[in-house]
């Protein structure tokens, strides 16, 4: 905190989250420590790069004023993320009832009998998306993962592929098992029908051909049809 005679300025450094081709903002708060009106003016060494709102104003006794500084989108990063830009906050006592439109540059000239203060603030760039200091959780005995989330994503993809293959294999096994059971049932039915037909033939062979009843003829015909049906399914 800057504890000047006129204004307290927070923070004492302007920190901008830096990301290429994106605007960035930070703010500072000016607090009047006196019982008089204090006029202020904010200057920068690179006015085309920054927009200050408000860049001039009046802080009433004991009051505060928030100033927003916007950095225009940058096309390239400075070497080592170091910035040489600076800001200057000028403050001076002002007559009661003065407004922002009444402020003139002459008010901040250091003359006899006039209290004028100046405070410099440097600019600091900070990464917009800093890497997490906590490594990703890993299995016991294995080293922390590196390169962001790529290994985790790859592992997830492999796991999903394995689970899909396992599900498909389980489904195929279930279908094969069902077909095998159906085939065994059909074979069993065929064997049973063959046994019944053989038994009927033996019974008929012991009787004269003229004594065959219509009932037996129909029954043999039905059994033949059923046996043919089951033989096709096998």
Structure-token pair, residue 170: 């389980």
Output b/e per residue, 95-118; b: 16+ Cβ within 10 A.
eeeeeeeebeeebbeeeeeeeebe
Nearest to 115 by CA among 90, 98, 96: 90
pTM: 0.55
pLDDT tens-digit readout, 187-234: 777 777 777 777 777 776 766 555 556 666 677 777 777 766 656 655
Render pLDDT for 27-43 as a digit per residue (tens, 0 to 9): 999 999 999 999 999 99
140-171 pLDDT, tens digit each: 555 555 554 555 566 666 667 666 666 666 67
Residue pair 86/52 in contact by the 8 Å Cβ criterion = no
Polymer length in residues for the chain: 234
Q: Give the C-alpha separation, 1 to 9, whole Å.
A: 6
* Element (DSSP H or E) covering residue 182: helix 150-205
175: left (phi over 0), alpha (psi -120 to 50) or beta: alpha
Q: What are phi and psi of 60, to 5 degrees?
A: -70, 165
């Amino acid at each position: 905190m800057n504890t000047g005679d006129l204004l307290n300025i927070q923070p004492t450094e302007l920190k901008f989250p830096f990301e290429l081709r994106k605007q960035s903002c930070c703010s500072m708060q000016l607090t009047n420590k006196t019982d008089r009106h204090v006029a202020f003016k904010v200057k920068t060494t690179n006015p085309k790069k920054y927009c200050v709102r408000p860049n001039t104003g009046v802080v009433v006794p004991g009051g505060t004023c928030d100033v927003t500084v916007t950095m225009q989108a940058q096309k390239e990063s400075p070497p080592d993320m170091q910035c040489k830009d600076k800001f200057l906050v000028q403050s001076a006592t002002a007559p009661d009832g003065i407004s922002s439109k009444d402020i003139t540059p002459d008010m901040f000239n250091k003359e006899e009998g006039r209290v004028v203060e100046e405070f410099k603030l440097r600019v600091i760039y900070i990464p917009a998306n800093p890497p997490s200091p906590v490594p990703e959780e890993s299995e016991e005995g294995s080293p922390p993962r590196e390169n962001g989330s790529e290994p985790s994503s790859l592992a997830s993809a492999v796991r999903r592929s394995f689970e899909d293959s396992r599900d498909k294999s389980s489904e195929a096994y279930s279908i094969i098992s069902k077909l095998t059971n159906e085939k065994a049932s059909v074979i069993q039915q065929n064997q049973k029908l063959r046994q019944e037909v053989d038994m009927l033939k033996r019974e008929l062979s012991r009787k004269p051909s003229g004594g065959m009843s219509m009932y037996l003829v129909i029954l043999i015909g039905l059994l033949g049809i059923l046996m043919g049906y089951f033989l096709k399914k096998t």
